[in-house]
Amino acid sequence: MKFTNGYWLIKEGVEAHYAAQGYDAKREGNGLVIYAPDRPIQNRGDTLNRPELTIRYSSPRRNVIRVRITHFEGQLDNGPHFEIAEDAEFRPEIAITPPAEGKPGEAVFRSGDIAAHVRLGDIWNVEFRAHGKTLVKNETKSTGYMISRRDIAFRDDPFLAFPNIDRGPLMGPYVNEDLSLGVGEYVYGLGERFGPFIKNGQSIDIWNADGGTASDQAYKNIPFYLTNKGYGVFVNETGKVQFEVGSEKISRVGFSVAGESLEYFIIYGPAPKEIIKNYTALTGRPPLLEDDTFGLWLSTSFTTSYDEQTVMSFIDGMIERDIPLKVFHFDCFWMKGFHWTDFCWDENTFPDPAAMLKRIRAKGLKVSVWINPYIAQRSRLFEEGRQKGYFLRKKDGSVHQTDLWQSGMAIVDFTNPGARAWYTEKLGEVLDIGVDYVKTDFGERIPADAVYHNGADPVLMHNYFTYLYNKTVFNFLDQKKGKGKSCLFARSATAGSQKFPVHWGGDCESSFEAMAETLRGGLSFTLSGFSYWSHDIGGFEGDPDPALFKRWLQFGLLSSHSRLHGSNSYRVPWNIDEESVEVCRVFARLKQSLLPYLQNCGREAHEKGIPIMRAMLLEFPDDPVCPFLDRQYMLGPDILVAPVFSADGEVEYYLPPGSWSHLLNERIETGGKWLKEKYDFLSLPLWTRGSRTF
C-alpha cells in the first residue's frame, strides 16, 4: 500500500502517525516492550491527545526475532493464525540502558546471533545486527499507524472487487512497517510469482487469485521474503499483506496490513540456505515422499474426451514405447460435468471404475484423481451439505453460491469439523477402490465476505482457506494410506502449505515465454520455503508445437516432479511427433536413474526445508553473477540445469567457478564463465559438479 505522495508529502486523505521516539522500555516475561509515541515527548503536555504504538520484541526460537506493532490492543481476534513452531526452551537476552545526562539510551534484544538494538529517548531507530554487522534498519518514518479517508485515499483498493463486503474495517486504519534496503541488496520470494525474479521495484499484494501465470496475480502468495544480505522477513498475517519493495520508497521494503496490529519475524541466515532452514523450522517442512511420485505422471488432460479405452491406450502406448510411467491421473471429467465435486465416477464412461483401477495398478502404476473444494448445486452432496451447515454462508444465513466454475456451487467450510469429516468420508469412498494420490485443485476464489462456522475473520480466511483444505485432504491420506504414502498435486498455497506437497505451477500458455515465466515462478516459490514443485509440460493453454514440447519435456523431467497435462489436447508424446517420444523416453529414463540422488534431496528437504529445485544464488551465494540468474537452476546441490527456451536450440547460460562434467556426454569444463551453445532435442546444458557420476 502506498501512503506517500513522493518523498515529501503524504497521500491525500491519509493521516500518518509514525513512531517518533523510543519513549519507554520494559521487560515483559521473555520479551522486550517499547512504547513509541508519534512525536518526541519533551514535557507532560506532549503525552496528551496522541497515538502511541506498543512494539514488542520476542523470540520463538534461536536466530528469529518477532516484532509486534500494536495501536489499540482491545480488538477482537477471531483468527485464523499460521501454525508457528516455537522452541519453548529457548531464552533470549535482554538489556536496557535508559537515557542519561542528555544521551540516548538503548534496549537490546538478542536471539542467538541476531539482536535488535532500539534507541531510547531519541529519534526512532532500530538496527538488527549480527556479529557486529547491521543487517537491516528500521528508521524514522518507518513504523506507522495510518488513518485514511477511504473515499479518497483508497478508491482503487483491490478489496473493492468484492462489492458485497463491509469495507469499513478494511479501508483503514492500517499498520505499516518499512525496513531498509541497502546498496546491492536484492529481494526474493513472496510466493510463486511469475514476473521479474528479483522483486525490487515491485508492488505485491499477498492475496490468492486464479489469475494464470501470465499476470501479476498468484495462486501461492507467501508473505515471506529473503535478501542476499543474510536475513529474511516473514509477515505473520494470514490475510492481505501489501508489499512495496523499493517501489514507494526506493531504499526501503514496506509492508502494511489493515487493522490495529502487525506482526513480523526477522530471520537470520547468514546464507540463503540457513535463512530457509530457519524459516521452515518456524512454519514447517515437508514429509518424505514415495519414490513413485518422482517419476513421470500422465494425465487425461482437462476438457478432452476420454473413457477407459482411451486411458488404457495411453498407458499401453507408454509401455510399448518403453517410456517409464509411474502415475496415471484422472482430471475433472472422471466425474460428470455440472456435478463437481460429488466423488462419483461418471458411469457413462467408467461403468466399473474399481475393475479399471485394478487393471491400471496391475501395470505397476499409482492412480491420482482430481478434486476441488466446491460442491455444485447438482452434486449429490449439495442438499446434504446445505442442511447440515457444511458450506460457507452469507450474513443472512443462506449458502454462499456462485456460477463461476460450477453452476450454483457452494464452498466447503473447512473450519467446521463436521464438514471436514463429511468431505473426507466421501473422498474415502474413492480411495477405497484403488486411488493413491489426489490433485487438490482450486482454493483461490474464496469470498472475503463469507461467514465461517468457527467465526473466523473472512478476510483473514481468504488465503488461509487453502491451508485448511489441503491439510484436511493430506492428513486424511495419511490416515487411510499410512504416513509416508501421501501426495497431493495442489495449486493454491499459503505459508506453511509446504507441509502438504506437491504443488504445481497452474495454468500457463504453450509458448517459450510462458515456459520461462513458469521457471521464474518456480524459483520464487522454492525460495519461499517450498521444497517440491511441478508444472504442466508443454503448457496448459493451447497446443504446443513440437519444438516447444520437446524443450519443455527436458525441463519438466528435470524438475522435482513431472507431469504431462494440458487443457484441450492429449499430452501423450506420440500425438506431437515421433521425436517427442524419444525425448520423453530418454529424459524419463534419466530421471529414473537419478532417483537415489532425488531421494537424498528429499531427505534434506524433510530435515532442513531446503528445496530440490534451487535458484543459483542458493548454492552460490558469494558469486556476484548468481543473484540475477532466472533461466537456469540447480537440481539439488550438484546438478546444474539450463533449459533451452528457443526453437533453434540456442541457449546462453552461466557456469560458476569450479570443475564441471556434462551429464550427457564426457565433456569437462572449468567454470566461472558464460557459455553460448546450441543443442539438439536430446540434450541441453546439464552439468554436475566435479567428477560426480549418477
Residues assigned a catalytic role: 441, 444, 507
589, 553 Cβ separation under 8 angstroms: no
User: Could you count the other beta carbons within 10 Å of the beta carbon of residue 313?
Assistant: 14
Q: What is Dmax (Cα atoms) for the chain?
A: 88
Burial class (CB in 10 A: 0-12, 13-18, 19+), 28: exposed
The dihedral formed by the CA atoms of 595, 596, 601 and 602, expressed in degrees to the nearest 10: 70
CB proximity list for 522: less than 8 A, separation 6 or greater: 192, 505, 533, 535, 559, 613, 633
Q: Is the preceding omega at residue 502 within 30 degrees of 0, hence cis?
A: yes
651, 553 Cβ separation under 8 angstroms: no
User: Could you count the other beta carbons within 10 Å of the beta carbon of residue 342?
Assistant: 17
CB proximity list for 29: less than 8 A, separation 6 or greater: none
As a whole number of angstroms, the distance between CA 369 and CA 613 comes to 25
As a whole number of angstroms, the distance between CA 577 and CA 136 comes to 54
Residue 354 bridge partners (DSSP): none
Residues 479-486: contacts with CB within 8 Å, 24+ apart? Answer: 480/428, 480/431, 481/431, 481/436, 483/287, 484/287, 484/288, 484/290, 485/290, 485/436, 486/287, 486/437
501, 228 Cβ separation under 8 angstroms: no
CB proximity list for 100: less than 8 A, separation 6 or greater: none
> Per-residue DSSP letters for 604-617?
HHHHH---SEE-HH
Distance of CA 608 to the CA centre of its chain: 17
Residue 127 bridge partners (DSSP): 117, 137
- The helix (run of H) or strand (run of E) holding residue 355 is helix 353-362
